[in-house]
Every structure is written in structure tokens, then in C-alpha cells.
């Protein structure tokens, strides 16, 4: 029996109907909205090969050296010819036509390959075989045969050989299903494709789903938190084309998207909610995250395909634990950050399925590391993480793939799976079109080749032979070559383990434990990152400026504004690179005038009776905003470069008016306060008492600067040794201000943190965890102790709550 109906098939029938057929049968049985249809089973293909006698020659011609492009081409051509020229047995013809008749009134059908080695949990054969849409009875039998032949395309032969599958034991079935004449369609990952978090990533475009899956259009990208239903990210792409059924011929054709729909959002929040519901049902049914192709007609969702996500890193859930002596820890992933500040509707996705090209012990940085400049030549979606440098090879056609040599960066218009052999040789991939879930993106993740897709114009911007560095995590391509940072495994261990002490796993705590950093050097940042901290709670900007030897004003006078901004961008990105995607909270300039006095240009600083009570922090930034504006310009540049892990913190604010002033400057600099994480330090009693109004002004977090909060609460100059014995961060008055602030912030949904020195003190840690602080930032050498202390307090609180 050559034909099986979908409702007779279950997940165990892979051998009979292939992965896709079995999955669609299983979903049909689970009452999910799958279009009706049948499968021409694998046994039909097998008996076709045997009854026509082509099997022997077929399997011998495909036994070639797949790295030899010419031999691979010849083999593919001959194998397909054998299948397409052999006659189809009469009995099978009749059976297929009869089944088609039962589908209804001459319907349009989709004819889809379903190989027995396709879509298995351990290897994604994404897009390796043919699919035909809008097929009618006239072409049906021919299309079935073409599906069989597509088991022997160059890419399929290559992929099978590389993955160790024997050609002769891989069978193919063909699914024939009623067409869904979709007005919108796309793909969705029911959980985040790299971290496995319950965050759905949906890509969608107008018309039939082929455009998204094939990568011929850059789709909209949505990220939805499945637990809360919140739509976290919406990135609306410029969707130039769509695939639709031609009314006259019934064929699938590519059309221009009408101007008014090109940049319009494809999915509403309600549509996304419907997809979440469907995604959850599918994931629940299978018990593992799924990659689902879907289509919508008049708001009704249909499922076209579901397969397990093959790229989720088993370790990713505990990636930060692996931080201990292991620098390949950036695979925690995270959401996709809409890079709206650039005015370019692109997403800088942070999708870490595992560190890739820079596994030597750290992330290569931009300019500071050597030949590379930090100029972003093109940017797009970070579709496969890792960083790599190489010569650009602009490839227009399949034939040109032979031009790609070992170590090149492939630059091409569209992502197609045909590139697999060349991608194996290349160190990276950059495309004009395509989304994070296009097949080539999936495969590039699996091959661990860094990829940036959907750049809009890489093929015209980048030149053949040009050396570039591609950052597949942030989605950026920069000029020149970045040297990999040397392995510092030993240093990393030293940072967390005093000699002679056994290595212990990082305690898992609900309260985040971060680290403070002042010197933005790669080695320091790397050591701090190796503590397993959950991010940087305070990166002081002063040291970046002080190391220049000149006051900001003098530096700008001598070298220009651009050079000053570059310095800040370099310093911050060095740290943000080491921690990516963990957050790095960067504080704008807060140096008292006496610290600047030593610098060139310091003679122009105002003479102050008491600099600690004087011209510093946000009051100076708002009073004379030129330097402040350069700082904000640096943040803006960082966001444009894809550093969506950078947060902005304002020092020494007194009240909401200060916060609003800073916010206005941020907006004027082109930074959207709604999109970026920003907040204020709580360093004066006024700030502690006024945090409610600051919440109204929009802060995302409040961070206790206990060094200043203590000096201003107790009137004890923190720099004055004569009163040092009175400097007590645990003074009840200080604790009371902190306690009230945490309470208000909890009520208002504002995160709280501490980044003053007292965050490293055990008593303070206990107090803060008891009070319900969100995070504690400590010195690098105290991070491990703080983690353990936090863990103990949290366990005590849990015990108390159940006793
Ligand atoms: C503080 O005041 O606690 C703080 C962290 O800032 P700084 O020490 O730089 O004043
Ligand atoms: Mg301070």
C-alpha cells in the first residue's frame, strides 16, 4: 500500500512516512490545525527504485568525494536524471490520483518531501528536499517524482555524507496536503532557539511561508514571553517581496509587497497570542521545544510543520556556572534587542548556541585588539554566534561557491541551504536577506559558523577580498581583522579560586550577584567575568577619562569630539564584550573637581571648598552638558553596534528633576528610554526619599551608592581620615533609608541594587537580601563569598516561610 492518510499516522511511523509525514500525522491525531492530506510512503519510493532497477547505479554514482565540487555536481545530476527518467509503476499512479480525488474538488495541494532521515532530533535536515506549492492533479505525479529526486541534490548528498548517513538507507516519502492560501505566514520557535527559555521567537511575512523559510525576505521578528504573554520585542522589517498564488496560472509567484504594507507590522498582539497558544500546545504534545511553520488565513492559524529545535545548547541553562575557568560562557543567549536607535528596523539578536570562532578563551574586541577598526560596515541579525575574521567572498550564484576558500567570509544576497559545503570551508556568513529562522541560519548554527543575516545590502557594501570581522552574536560586520584574545584560563581560575582551594560550583541565587569594575581593560574584565557574576553592577567611566591624561574638555579641544567618543566606546565595549550578553551598567561621569585637577586641563577646573559636596555627578552634567552629550553619544554608538547589554546609570541625582533632566538629554541623543535599561544611583538621603517620583520619571533601576549615601547621611567626609571611624555604612539611619527605598521600588516595579563598597560586606548582604534587593554588586574578589552568603540567606528565608 503506497498511500497513507495523515489521520492514520503517528510519531512512530518515521520509517514509513518520513519525519515530516510522521510529525504531521501525530499533530493531526492531537487535533492540532493541520490541513488534511495523505502521504506517498517510503515503501512506494523503495519499490519504484527496485522495480525500475535504477537502485544499484543510483547508489554507486553518489559515492563521491563531496569536497570535490565538480564531482559532486556530476553525481547529483546523474542521480536525479535516473529518478526523473524512470517510469512510475501504474498501480502507484492510480493510488495517488485516487487519494487526491478524495481530498475534494480539484484542490490545490502542497507536495512536500519527507525523508526518513529528515527532522530527526539529532540532525536538522532543514530544507534539504523539495516542496511544491499550489500543485494540481495535472502535475501531481511529476512533482512527487521531483521530490524523490531532490534526495540527490548536491546539498543533500553533501549534508548526508558529512553527517554520516548512508545514502542507500535514507528513504523518502511525499506529503500531499490541501494548500493553505495564506495571507500571512512564517515560522516560530516555541522556546528560545539557543537558551531553551520559554520565550517564543516568531518570524513572519506577507503571503506564503516560502519567502520566510527560503530567506528571500527579511521577516518581522517578534519575541514573546510565554509565561506572561508579554510581547517583548517587535522588529518590523522592510518586507520587499511576498510569495502568492497567481490567480490565473495557480502557480506560486514572487510579487512586490505593496508600498503601504512593506514596513507594516504583520502580526498583531492578538495574532501572537494565538500563535503562543498553538506553540504551547505543540510543545506540550511533544515535550520538547519545536520549530513550527505556520500560516494564517483570515486570522485562523494552520500548522504546516513542526520539528524539534536542534540548536538548543544543553548547557545553556547553566552557562554562567560554567564561567568558572571556562570562557565559553556567552551562550546564555538572551532576547533579541531591537536596535531602534539606529533608525534601522533591524534586530541585534543575541542568540548564543555556543561560543564559536573565538573559543580560544575570550571574545576578540574591536580596535583595541589589533588590526580591526570599530567601523560597522553592515549590520543585521546575529543568526549564529561567534566572531571570526576573513576575506570577503561575494557569491552570486551556486556555481560560484567553488570560489569560497578555507577561511573566507561568504557574502551573499540570500541564505539558501545550498551553501552548506561552502559554509563548511568559510569562517562566516553574511547575507542581505533572510531571518534568524531561515534554513541556512539554522544550519549555520548547527555547523557553528558565525552568521549575520538580513543586512539589507552586504553584497553591495562589502567588496570581494576585503578583510572583515563578523560578530555573529551582535549582528555586526566590521572592517579589518580582530586578533583573538589569548587564552587566559589560568587567570580566570585565579580570579575565583584562591590557591589550594577546590573549585566549587557557582551557587545559584535568586538575588543576582554582579561585579563592580573600574578599569576597562580586557584582562580585568575577563577576570571579573570569570567570577560567574551575573553582570557588571557598576562600570565607572572616570577611569576611562583619567587614563587619557586630560580633562574631557581639554581632550576634546585637542583631539576632537569624535576621538573622545571613540575612547569611551572602546572602553565600554571592551567590558561589554567580555560579559555579553550579561548586562553591564555603565555610570556617566562622576569625578570630583579635585580628581580632575591633576590632569592636563585641570587648571581650568573650579576651585571648590568641598569638592565632595560640589560640582560632580549629574549636577555638573546637566549644568554644562557638552561632555555629558559626548558620553551619551558613546552610548548611542554602542547601541547601534548591537551592545544591547549596556545599561546607563546616572550618579548623584537628588530628585526626579535631576532624573528628568538626564532623561531629556538621553532622548536628545537619540536613545529611547523606553527601549534601554537606565536608572539612578541612590547616594543622597534626598534621592532615597524621592525615589517614588523617580519611578514616575521612568527609571528601571535604583542602585545604592553607599559610599556617598553614608557620607551624606552621617555628614562624614569619606576622604577624611580624621572621621573615618564614624564612617559606618551599617548605621541604622543609612539602613533605614535603604530599606524604605527598596520597599518603594518593589511597590513600583523598579529594580534595586547596591554598587557601593558595602555590597561586599557580609552583614550588608544579609540585610539587603532580607529586604528583597534585586541584585548586589561586589568587588571581583568578593563575588564568590557574596554568592555563597546570598544563597544561605535565601535558603533561610525559604525555610522560615514553610516553618
Ligand atoms: C558610591 O558612592 O557608593 C559609589 C559607588 O560611587 P563612587 O564611589 O564612585 O562615588
Ligand atoms: Mg558615589
What pLDDT digit, counting tens, does each position of 12-51 carry? 998 899 888 998 999 999 999 999 999 999 999 999 999 9
Higher pLDDT, 371 or 544: 544
Tell me what pLDDT residue 80 has.
Answer: 95
Run of H or E residues at 222: strand 220-225
| Least confident residue range of 67-76, 245-254, 263-272, 337-346 | 337-346
Q: How confident is the model at residue 120 (pLDDT cuts 50, 70, 90)?
A: very low
Please count the other Cβ atoms lying within 10 Å of the Cβ belonging to residue 226. Answer: 18
Tell me what pLDDT residue 169 has.
Answer: 79
Residues with CB under 6 A from ligand 1: 538, 540, 590, 683, 705-708, 755-756
104, three cell numbers: 475534494
DSSP state of 723: G
Describe the chain by its helix, strand, coil percentages, rounded to 5. 45, 20, 35
Long-range contact set of residues 96-102: C-beta below 8 Å, sequence gap at least 24: 96/2, 96/3, 96/40, 96/140, 96/141, 96/144, 96/176, 97/137, 97/140, 97/141, 99/3, 99/5, 99/38, 99/176, 100/137, 100/140, 100/176
- Spell out the SS3 assignment of 138-164: HHHHHHHHHHHHHHHCHHHHHHHHHHC
For residue range 484-537, what is the model confidence (pLDDT) as tens digits? 433 333 333 333 333 323 335 678 889 999 998 877 777 678 878 888 899 999
| Closest ligand to Cα 517 | 1
Q: Is the pLDDT of residue 355 over 70?
A: no
Tell me what pLDDT residue 415 has.
Answer: 58
| Least confident residue range of 215-229, 392-406, 572-586 | 392-406
| Contact yes or no for 150/156 (Cβ under 8 A) | yes
760, three cell numbers: 561586599
| Contact yes or no for 569/533 (Cβ under 8 A) | no
Please count the other Cβ atoms lying within 10 Å of the Cβ belonging to residue 668. Answer: 11
Q: Is the pLDDT of residue 368 over 50?
A: no
| Least confident residue range of 173-177, 311-315, 727-731 | 311-315
Please count the other Cβ atoms lying within 10 Å of the Cβ belonging to residue 287. Answer: 8
Tell me what pLDDT residue 443 has.
Answer: 61
Give residue 694 CA to ligand 2 midpoint distance, Å. 18
For residue range 692-707, what is the model confidence (pLDDT) as tens digits? 999 999 999 999 999 9
- With a CB cutoff of 8 Å and minimum separation 6, the contacts of 73 are 154
Task: For 217, list phi and psi in degrees, rounded to 5.
Answer: -135, 145
Pocket residue to mutate for ligand 1, from 681, 711, 753, 775, most atoms within 8 A of Cβ? 681
Residue bearing the CA closest to ligand 1, atom 3: 705
Q: How confident is the model at residue 324 (pLDDT cuts 50, 70, 90)?
A: very low
The yes-or-no answer on residue 755 being catalytic is yes
DSSP state of 229: -
Q: Could you give the percent of the chain with pLDDT greater than 70?
A: 83
Place of cell 567601523: 375
| Least confident residue range of 280-289, 331-340, 543-552 | 331-340
| Least confident residue range of 248-257, 576-585, 741-750, 784-793 | 248-257
- Of 243, 439, 630, 745, the catalytic one is 439
Pocket residue to mutate for ligand 1, from 545, 702, 755, most atoms within 8 A of Cβ? 755
Average the pLDDT over 270-292 and give the result. Answer: 92
Q: How confident is the model at residue 731 (pLDDT cuts 50, 70, 90)?
A: very high
CA-wise closest residue to 86 among 173, 147, 145: 145
Per DSSP, what are the bridge partners of residue 305?
A: 293
Residues with Cβ–ion distance below 5 A, ligand 2: 683, 705, 708
Q: Is the pLDDT of residue 364 over 70?
A: no
Residue bearing the CA closest to ligand 1, atom 1: 705
Per DSSP, what are the bridge partners of residue 460?
A: none
CA-wise closest residue to 439 among 298, 590, 311: 311
Atom of ligand 1 nearest to the CA of 706: 3
Give residue 605 CA to ligand 1 midpoint distance, Å. 21
Cα separation, 228 vs 205, in Å, equals 25
Give residue 707 CA to ligand 2 midpoint distance, Å. 6
Tell me what pLDDT residue 448 has.
Answer: 72
Q: How confident is the model at residue 399 (pLDDT cuts 50, 70, 90)?
A: low
Atom of ligand 1 nearest to the CA of 708: 2
Burial, 30: exposed, middle or buried (Cβ in 10 Å; 0-12, 13-18, 19+)?
Answer: middle
Cα separation, 211 vs 132, in Å, equals 13
CA-wise closest residue to 463 among 414, 411, 512, 423: 411
Run of H or E residues at 133: strand 131-135
Cα separation, 457 vs 513, in Å, equals 41
Give residue 703 CA to ligand 2 midpoint distance, Å. 10
Q: How confident is the model at residue 718 (pLDDT cuts 50, 70, 90)?
A: confident
Tell me, rounded to whole angstroms, the distance of Cα 125 from its chain centroid: 22
Residue bearing the CA closest to ligand 1, atom 4: 705
Higher pLDDT, 629 or 161: 629
Burial, 527: exposed, middle or buried (Cβ in 10 Å; 0-12, 13-18, 19+)?
Answer: buried
Q: Is the pLDDT of residue 351 over 90?
A: no
Cα separation, 648 vs 541, in Å, equals 11
Task: For 446, list phi and psi in degrees, rounded to 5.
Answer: -65, -40
Run of H or E residues at 704: strand 701-704
Atom of ligand 1 nearest to the CA of 703: 5
Place of cell 529518478: 83
DSSP state of 129: S
Cα separation, 273 vs 224, in Å, equals 9
Q: How confident is the model at residue 195 (pLDDT cuts 50, 70, 90)?
A: low
Q: Is the pLDDT of residue 343 over 90?
A: no
Tell me what pLDDT residue 312 has.
Answer: 53
DSSP state of 285: H
Higher pLDDT, 398 or 159: 159
Give residue 588 CA to ligand 2 midpoint distance, Å. 11
| Contact yes or no for 251/135 (Cβ under 8 A) | no
First to last CA, the chain: 65
Rg over CA atoms, the chain: 30
Extract the runs of DSSP E, i.e. beta strands, from 618-677. Answer: 646-650
Amino acid at each position: 500500500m503506497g498511500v497513507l492518510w495523515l489521520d492514520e499516522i503517528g510519531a512512530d511511523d518515521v520509517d514509513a512516512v518520513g519525519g515530516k509525514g510522521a510529525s504531521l500525522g501525530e499533530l493531526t491525531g492531537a487535533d492540532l490545525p493541520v490541513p488534511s492530506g495523505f502521504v506517498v510512503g517510503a515503501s512506494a519510493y523503495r519499490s519504484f527504485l527496485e522495480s525500475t532497477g535504477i537502485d544499484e547505479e543510483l547508489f554507486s554514482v553518489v559515492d563521491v568525494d563531496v569536497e570535490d565540487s565538480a564531482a559532486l555536481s556530476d553525481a547529483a545530476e546523474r542521480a536525479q536524471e535516473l529518478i526523473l527518467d524512470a517510469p512510475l509503476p501504474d498501480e502507484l499512479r492510480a493510488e495517488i490520483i485516487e487519494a487526491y480525488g478524495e481530498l475534494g474538488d480539484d484542490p490545490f495541494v502542497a507536495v512536500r518531501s519527507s525523508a526518513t532521515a529528515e527532522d530527526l532530533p539529532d540532525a536538522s535536515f532543514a530544507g534539504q528536499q523539495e516542496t511544491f506549492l499550489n500543485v494540481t492533479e495535472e502535475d501531481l505525479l511529476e512533482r512527487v517524482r521531483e521530490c524523490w529526486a531532490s534526495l540527490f541534490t548536491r546539498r543533500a548528498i553533501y549534508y548526508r555524507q558529512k553527517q554520516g548517513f548512508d545514502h542507500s538507507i535514507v528513504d523518502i516519502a511525499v506529503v500531499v496536503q490541501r494548500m493553505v492560501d495564506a495571507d500571512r505566514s512564517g515560522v516560530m520557535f516555541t522556546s528560545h532557539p539557543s537558551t531553551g527559555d520559554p520565550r517564543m521567537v516568531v518570524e513572519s511575512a506577507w503571503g506564503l511561508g516560502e519567502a520566510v523559510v527560503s530567506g528571500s525576505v527579511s521577516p518581522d521578528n517578534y519575541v514573546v514571553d510565554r509565561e506572561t504573554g508579554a510581547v517583548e520585542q517587535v522588529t518590523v522589517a522592510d518586507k520587499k517581496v511576498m510569495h502568492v498564488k497567481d490567480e490565473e496560472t495557480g502557480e506560486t509567484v514572487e510579487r512586490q509587497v505593496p508600498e503601504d504594507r512593506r514596513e507594516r507590522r504583520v502580526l498583531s498582539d492578538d495574532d501572537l497570542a494565538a500563535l503562543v497558544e498553538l506553540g504551547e500546545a505543540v510543545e506540550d504534545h511533544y515535550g520538547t521545544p519545536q520549530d513550527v511553520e505556520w500560516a494564517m488565513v483570515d486570522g485562523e492559524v494552520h500548522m504546516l510543520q513542526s520539528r524539534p529545535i536542534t540548536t538548543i545548547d544543553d548547557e545553556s541553562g547553566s552557562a554562567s556556572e560554567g564561567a568558572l575557568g571556562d570562557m565559553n560562557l556567552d551562550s546564555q543567549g538572551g532576547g533579541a534587542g531591537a536596535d531602534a536607535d539606529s533608525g534601522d528596523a533591524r534586530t541585534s539578536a543575541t542568540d548564543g548556541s555556543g561560543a564559536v570562532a573565538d573559543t580560544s578563551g575570550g571574545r576578540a574586541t574591536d580596535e583595541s585588539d589589533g588590526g580591526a577598526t570599530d567601523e560597522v560596515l553592515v549590520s543585521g541579525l546575529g543568526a549564529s554566534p561567534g566572531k571570526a575574521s576573513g576575506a570577503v567572498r561575494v557569491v552570486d550564484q551556486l556555481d560560484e561557491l567553488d570560489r569560497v576558500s578555507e577561511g573566507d567570509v561568504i557574502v551573499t544576497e540570500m541564505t539558501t541551504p545550498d551553501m552548506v559545503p561552502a559554509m563548511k570551508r568559510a569562517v562566516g556568513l553574511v547575507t542581505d536577506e533572510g531571518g534568524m529562522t531561515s534554513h541556512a541560519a539554522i544550519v549555520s548554527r548547527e555547523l557553528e559558523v558565525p552568521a549575520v543575516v538580513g543586512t539589507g545590502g552586504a553584497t553591495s557594501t562589502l567588496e570581494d577580498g576585503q578583510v572583515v570581522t563578523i560578530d555573529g552574536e551582535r549582528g555586526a560586520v566590521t572592517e579589518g581583522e580582530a586578533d583573538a584574545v589569548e587564552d587566559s584560563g589560568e587567570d580566570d581560575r585565579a580570579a575565583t579560586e584562591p590557591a589550594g582551594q577546590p573549585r566549587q560550583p557557582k551557587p545559584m541565587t535568586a538575588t543576582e550577584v554582579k561585579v563592580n569594575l573600574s578599569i576597562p581593560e580586557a584582562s580585568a574584565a575577563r577576570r571579573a567575568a570569570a567570577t560567574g557574576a551575573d553582570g557588571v553592577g557598576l562600570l565607572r567611566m572616570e577611569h576611562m577619562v583619567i587614563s587619557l591624561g586630560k580633562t574631557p574638555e581639554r581632550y576634546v579641544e585637542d583631539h576632537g569630539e569624535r576621538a573622545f567618543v571613540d575612547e569611551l566606546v572602546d572602553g565600554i565595549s571592551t567590558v561589554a564584550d567580555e560579559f555579553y550578553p550579561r548586562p553591564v551598567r555603565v555610570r556617566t561621569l562622576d569625578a570630583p573637581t579635585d580628581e580632575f585637577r591633576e590632569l592636563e586641563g585641570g587648571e581650568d577646573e573650579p576651585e571648590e571648598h568641598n569638592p565632595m559636596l560640589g560640582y560632580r555627578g549629574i549636577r555638573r552634567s546637566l549644568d554644562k552638558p557638552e561632555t555629558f552629550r559626548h558620553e551619551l553619544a558613546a552610548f548611542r554608538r554602542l547601541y547601534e553596534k548591537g551592545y544591547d547589554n549596556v545599561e546607563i546609570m546616572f550618579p548623584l541625582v537628588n530628585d526626579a528633576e535631576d532624573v528628568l533632566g538626564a532623561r531629556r538629554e538621553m532622548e536628545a541623543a537619540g536613545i529611547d528610554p523606553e527601549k534601554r535599561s537606565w536608572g539612578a544611583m541612590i547616594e543622597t538621603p534626598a534621592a532615597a526619599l524621592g525615589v517614588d517620583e523617580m519611578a514616575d520619571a521612568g527609571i528601571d533601576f535604583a542602585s545604592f551608592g553607599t559610599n556617598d549615601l553614608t557620607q551624606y547621611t552621617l555628614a562624614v567626609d569619606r576622604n577624611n581620615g580624621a572621621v573615618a571611624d564614624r564612617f559606618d555604612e551599617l548605621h541604622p539611619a543609612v539602613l533605614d533609608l535603604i530599606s524604605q527605598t527598596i520597599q518603594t521600588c518593589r511597590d513600583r516595579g523598579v529594580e534595586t541594587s547596591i554598587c557601593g563598597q558595602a555590597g561586599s560586606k557580609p552583614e550588608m548582604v544579609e540585610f539587603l537580601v532580607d529586604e528583597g534587593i534585586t541584585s548586589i554588586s561586589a568587588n571581583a574578589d568578593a563575588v564568590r563569598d557574596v554568592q555563597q552568603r546570598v544563597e544561605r540567606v535565601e535558603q533561610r528565608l525559604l525555610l522560615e516561610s514553610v516553618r
